[in-house]
């Protein structure tokens, strides 16, 4: 059964709570950088104390000691998942895991908004699938709970690391715009291929009936 994380990609607490109310009794939400930098840790704590499960998509990337300290403080908010960039290196990932042993830490491999040409422009010589596989292996060795991957790389990572939490953003329905995402996938295929956690962002709100779309997805994911 996959968990459906609804991304609260808005700038104001009121707008986030309006979306939460619209989808009630849904309880699993993702808070990213945009909203976190508005509501802060107190805002997140307020929701976890109300029984919401929060995926804190902080995409941390710094020296090991700094990331470990940040993860320890974030874990105290009672959040379920925290993301950090695998490109920060194995030592950083291990320091984070030691700092928050009971929180699921998820490694960001390659952002779904990046394509092969972007990686080449940044000086990477590995192909995109090779890089994602290498990052997933690094996350696994460092003891993380799983990785963020996009739909095209999901089957390969699932084969290599079947017990991982495989968090998949960039979900779109047939005929819908990819927006700034370059690697997108459709929900049926992602669930069938072993995605354990689906991130629902613009795809959920692009329809006139987000509640109906979420209900249909819940049936698919169970
Ligand atoms: O709106 P859309 O469906 O593109 O939303 C994608 C969500 O997933 C955003 O909140 C974005 O920050 C997040 N995400 C992503 N790529 C990653 C990790 C998280 O798009 N690698």
Tokens found for residue 115:
């394509």
Encoded tokens for 32: 């990213």
The one catalytic residue among 30, 59, 182, 218: 59
At CB < 8 A and 24+ separation, what contacts does 74-77 make?
A: 74/41, 74/100, 74/103, 75/99, 75/100, 75/102, 75/103, 77/41, 77/44, 77/45, 77/48
Residues 131 and 109 sit within 8 Å (Cβ to Cβ): yes
Q: Are 140 and 95 in contact (CB under 8 A)?
A: no
Share of the chain above pLDDT 70, in %: 100
Q: How many domains does the chain have?
A: 1
Is 182 a known active-site residue?
A: no
- For residue 212, the CA-to-ligand 1 centroid distance in Å is 21
User: The domain spanning residue 133 has which CATH number?
Assistant: 3.20.20.70
Interval between CA 30 and ligand 1 midpoint (Å): 10
Give 87's pLDDT tier (boundaries 50, 70, 90). Answer: very high
Ligand 1 and 181: CB distance under 6 A: yes
Structure confidence at residue 1 (pLDDT) = 86
The atom of ligand 1 lying closest to the CA of 204 is 3
What span, in angstroms and rounded, lies between the C-alpha atoms of 100 and 106? 12
Instruction: Output the pLDDT for position 178.
Output: 78
Q: Residue 167 has which token pair?
A: 């968090």
Ligand 1: atom nearest CA of 150 is 21
In terms of phi and psi (left: phi > 0; alpha: psi -120 to 50; beta: otherwise), the region of 73 is alpha
Distance, CA of 183 to CA of 150 (rounded, Å) = 6
Taking the centre of ligand 1 as the mean of its atom positions, its distance from the CA of residue 34, in whole angstroms, is 12
Residue 181 has pLDDT above 80, yes or no: no
Task: Summarize pLDDT for 93-105 with one digit per residue, the tens.
Answer: 999 999 999 999 9
Name the residue with the closest Cα to ligand 1, atom 4: 170
Instruction: Provide the pLDDT confidence category of residue 175 given band limits of 50, 70 and 90.
Output: confident
Q: E strands of the chain, at which residues?
A: 3-7, 28-31, 53-60, 81-85, 104-108, 146-148, 165-168, 197-200
Q: Which of 16, 82, 106, 112 to mutate to test the pocket of ligand 1 (most atoms within 8 A of CB)?
A: 112
Taking the CA of residue 180 as reference, the ligand 1 atom at the shortest distance is 4
- Which residue, judged by its Cα, is nearest atom 12 of ligand 1? 32
What is the rounded distance in angstroms from the CA atom of residue 174 to the CA atom of residue 128?
24
pTM of the model: 0.94
Residue 148 alpha carbon, nearest atom of ligand 1: 21
**Phi, psi at 161, each rounded to 5°:** -140, 70
Q: Determine if ligand 1 sits within 6 Å of the CB of residue 198.
A: no
Residue 162 is encoded by which pair of tokens? 């079947």
Confidence of residue 205 (pLDDT cuts 50, 70, 90): confident
Q: Is the pLDDT of residue 195 over 90?
A: yes
Phi, psi of 177 (to 5 degrees): -70, 145
- Residue 51 lies in domain: 3-221
């Amino acid at each position: 059964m996959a968990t459906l994380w609804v991304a609260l990609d808005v700038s104001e607490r009121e707008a986030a709570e309006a979306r939460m109310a619209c989808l009630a009794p849904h309880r699993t939400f993702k808070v990213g950088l945009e909203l976190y930098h508005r509501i802060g840790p107190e805002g997140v704590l307020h929701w976890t104390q109300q029984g919401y499960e929060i995926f804190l998509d902080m995409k941390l990337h710094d020296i090991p000691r700094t990331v470990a300290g940040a993860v320890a403080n974030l874990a105290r908010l009672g959040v379920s998942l925290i993301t950090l960039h695998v490109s920060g290196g194995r030592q950083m990932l291990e320091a984070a895991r030691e700092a928050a042993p009971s929180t699921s830490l998820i490694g960001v491999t390659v952002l779904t908004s990046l394509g092969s040409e972007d990686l080449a422009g940044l000086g990477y010589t590995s192909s995109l699938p090779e890089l994602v596989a290498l990052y997933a292996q690094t996350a696994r060795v460092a003891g993380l709970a799983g990785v963020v991957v996009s739909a095209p790389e999901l089957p390969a990572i699932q084969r290599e690391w079947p017990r991982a939490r495989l968090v998949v953003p960039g979900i779109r329905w047939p005929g819908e715009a990819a927006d700034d995402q370059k690697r997108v996938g459709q929900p049926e295929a992602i669930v069938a291929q072993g995605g354990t956690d689906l991130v629902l962002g613009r795809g959920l709100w692009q329809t006139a009936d987000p509640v109906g779309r979420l209900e249909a997805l819940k049936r698919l994911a169970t």
